[in-house]
Amino acid sequence: MIKRLRITIPLQPRTKKNSSRIVTNKKTGKPFLIPSKEYKDYEADVGFLINARSGRGLKIDYPVNVQCIFYRKDRRRCDLPNLLNAIDDILVKCEVLADDNFNIIAGHDGSRVRVSKENPRTEICIEAIEKPEEW
């Protein structure tokens, strides 16, 4: 069991909800949303960085707090829940976390958005927490 894991992603934080693309299923003709190319590139870059920093494949399956401090390069409005959702999905895709349900990600305590024009990044701290008895 890992007590604390810190990961810094030296890239401008992105969400996958703000600029989705609408595509049509060739078989059914029904439209559906997929993430933007910018988000897919961000997801691939973050995956590479996590892989290089030995976080990949941990598959944490016990309750943790995932604290994320997002440093954006400007003061444009953004939604913290959307930023958190993107990071949670990437951590699952990179197999750092086994899943992003409430049994594993018990909280995002301490997460917030800041501004750093010179050094946009995401600082992630995954910390094991004790499972309450009534859980």
β strands within the chain, DSSP E = 4-9, 21-24, 31-34, 64-72, 105-107, 112-115, 121-128
Q: How far apart are CA 92 and CA 59, in angstroms?
A: 8
Identify the pLDDT of residue 135. Answer: 55
> Is residue 83 within 8 Å of residue 18, measured between CB atoms?
no
Domain ranges of the chain: 4-16+36-128
pLDDT average per 10 residues of sequence, the chain (135 residues): 91 83 85 86 92 78 96 94 95 94 96 97 94 62
What CATH code would you report for 4-16+36-128? 3.30.1330.70
Secondary structure (DSSP) of the chain: --SEEEEEE-S----SSTT-EEEE-TTT--EEEE--HHHHHHHHHHHHHHHHTT-TT--B-S-EEEEEEEEESS-----HHHHHHHHHHHHHHTTSBS--STTTEEE-TT-EEEE-SS--EEEEEEEE-PPPTT-
Backbone conformation region of residue 29, classed left if phi is above 0, alpha if psi is from -120 to 50, else beta: left
